[in-house]
Chain A
Amino acid sequence: MMESAIRTDKLTRYFGKVHAVNEVTFEVPSGIVFGYLGPNGSGKTTTIRLLLGLLEPTGGQAHVLGYDTESQADQIRNHSGALLENTGLYERMSAEDNLEFYGRVWKMNTGDRKARIQELLSSIGLWDRRKEPVVEWSRGMKQKLAVARVLMHRPRLVFLDEPTAGLDPIAASALREDLENLVQQQGLTVFLTTHNLSEAERLCQQVAVISHGKLLAIGAPEELGERERGFHLIISGDGFTPEVIAKLKSNVQVLNVHQRDHQLLIDLKEDINTAPMVQMLVSSGVAVDEVRKDRASLEEVFLKMVEEEEKNGQ
């Protein structure tokens, strides 16, 4: 059995009446990328702060790398690295000095610091620009340097709080690639918060979905799919009248029907033969342009869970 890098038990944090994290229980095995998914304000950052011992929980408990977050937070911070909401870089200093500082913080000796700075900056293509003040760099470059800073002291566990947020698609893709390579090379555990579902699908071996501080689901992305996703039929065309939609909804195999402009999204209970359904639409006067049957993406599963949670909350 794999050792747990993180284990929480009913971890809770209130800010006044707001339940930022509400009885969250999960386990993160060592050596994987764990995605912590949730919309803005769902409690992702607060969870990281609790796990790093930067905030005290209102209830429950958590162990990170075997250390208790309340009584052994210094040990947790000693063995982990964190890229929080901001890059945390000293922008008036050069890239090299930023890494040098955090190398000193983690008591690396001079030779090791120099070698590690060269290794990390070379691997993200920034070695030639190491002497430049970071303030002159693009956001994407700063974010790459921030990831290098997190990995500087070879931590066993890293927390990455929405590392690609605010980056343009090219910079985000480049950073994801770097992250993938670095994680593979270093063999560490990554706790990644994001609301970018394609990023989570690509990078994470396990994901948890959180909304309004509550954990909604946890498992491998494909496992969540089997449990929550189901299949759906996407039909593009014109002439989706209320009568046609009502007819579809009366089908026992249909869970729900959503109309978006010139598209009909039909949630199915299982992978059934949909030819009769399409035939019915054509005979009802719908001008069908394209038909596609697919499994719902992680994004759709995520949206569904969050919507349901919001409905329940109301």
Chain B
Amino acid sequence: MVNDIWTIVWKEWHEVVFTRKNPRGGITYILIIIALLGIFMPLQFSSMWLTNSVQPILWSWLPIFLAISLVTDAFAGERERHTLETLLASRLSDQAILFGKIAAAVLYAWLITFISLLIGAVTINIAHPTGSFQFYPAGNLVIGLAFVLLAALLVSTIGVLVSLRAQSARQAYQRMSLALMALWFIPMLGVQFLPASIQSQIAGLLTNINPQQVVIWVGIFLLAADVVLIFFAGTRFKRTQLILD
């Protein structure tokens, strides 16, 4: 099973990342992202990039943009390019195909974020030298990478669910973008319509809240959402349905 998942990851990366003709990926695209997250942003944040304890939550949003392009292509792209039925006619199990697609996007996003963070640390040391090597506090780094993993898993699983039913990668990408915009804007706009007294209560709560508590609650939310969505994706993945679609 693990070997089969890795085989799908190998294929996804080869097709999307390492091919010259791919409009959604390629080494150039990855280098631009790494330059942005590993050089430009650390220079903007200065030494705070390494020390701010809220950084883990901020980092967790980064992989969304990395995983979307890969994951929306997962099934819709295969369907569009007429490769899906051949893949389904292979010996690979449903779980291997599904989890392989999710793993490819999660690892892609996680690895790029991890490399960017390492380069970010080097950038800070070069731009703002202190005489000794500066690095992320161990706790921040571990929590940050765990958040990146959970957030990438969340986005990838939503993306796979969208991609399972979309007729083309473009349609999947559009639906995914709408879903993420809704996820972001609905709570923000929703707060505006609340009575002023409740708004001030929320503001007070956010001001006084312990950052560690935020990290814990967001982590629990992401983990729960991941488990539910992975289970849901497992029930939605049906070979027969994919053939008929």
Is B one of A's binding partners? yes
Taking a contact as CB atoms closer than 8 A, the residue among B3, B4, B19, B82 that contacts A92 in the complex is B19
**A77 at the B interface (CB under 8 A):** yes
**Are the C-beta atoms of B85 and A84 separated by less than 8 Å?**
yes
Known contacts A88-B82, A104-B7; A93/B91 CB under 8 A: no
**Are the C-beta atoms of A82 and B91 separated by less than 8 Å?**
no
Residues of B within 8 A of A91 (CB): 81
**A74 at the B interface (CB under 8 A):** yes
Residues of B within 8 A of A133 (CB): 19-21
- Bound Cα distance from A133 to B90, whole angstroms: 22
- Bound Cα distance from A49 to B20, whole angstroms: 34
Segment among A52-60, A209-217, A235-243 that sits at the interface with chain B: A52-60
**A101 at the B interface (CB under 8 A):** yes
Interface size on B, residues (CB 8 A): 27
Residues of A within 8 A of B89 (CB): 52, 54, 77, 82, 84, 88
Residues of A within 8 A of B83 (CB): 86, 88-90
Known contacts A92-B19, A101-B7, A101-B10; A86/B85 CB under 8 A: yes
- Bound Cα distance from A77 to B92, whole angstroms: 8
Residues of A within 8 A of B19 (CB): 92-93, 133
**A127 at the B interface (CB under 8 A):** no
Known contacts A92-B22, A133-B20; A106/B86 CB under 8 A: no
Q: How far apart are A163's CB and chain B's nearest CB, in angstroms?
A: 13
Residues of B within 8 A of A101 (CB): 7, 10-11, 14
Chain B residue at minimum C-beta to C-beta distance from A136? B21
Residues of B within 8 A of A135 (CB): 21
Interface size on A, residues (CB 8 A): 29
Residues of A within 8 A of B82 (CB): 85-88
- Bound Cα distance from A265 to B41, whole angstroms: 82
Q: Interface 1/0s, chain A 76-100, versus B by CB < 8 A?
A: 0110001111111111110001000
Residues of A within 8 A of B86 (CB): 82-84, 86-88
**Are the C-beta atoms of A92 and B90 separated by less than 8 Å?**
no
Considering only residues 79-138 of chain B, those with a C-beta below 8 Å from chain A are 81-83, 85-93
Residues of B within 8 A of A74 (CB): 91, 93
- Bound Cα distance from A35 to B100, whole angstroms: 36
**Are the C-beta atoms of A105 and B21 separated by less than 8 Å?**
no
**B240 at the A interface (CB under 8 A):** yes
Chain A residue at minimum C-beta to C-beta distance from B19? A92
Q: How far apart are A193's CB and chain B's nearest CB, in angstroms?
A: 14
- Bound Cα distance from A86 to B243, whole angstroms: 13
**Are the C-beta atoms of B239 and A92 separated by less than 8 Å?**
no
Residues of A within 8 A of B239 (CB): 54
**Are the C-beta atoms of A90 and B11 separated by less than 8 Å?**
yes
**Are the C-beta atoms of A56 and B240 separated by less than 8 Å?**
yes
- Bound Cα distance from A78 to B15, whole angstroms: 24
**A114 at the B interface (CB under 8 A):** no
Closest CB pairs A-B (n = 5):
A88-B86, A86-B82, A78-B91, A92-B19, A82-B89
- 21 example contacts (A-B, Cβ-Cβ < 8 A) are as follows A49-B243, A55-B240, A55-B243, A77-B89, A77-B90, A84-B89, A86-B82, A86-B83, A86-B85, A87-B82, A87-B86, A88-B82, A92-B15, A101-B7, A102-B90, A104-B7, A104-B10, A105-B90, A105-B91, A106-B90, A133-B19
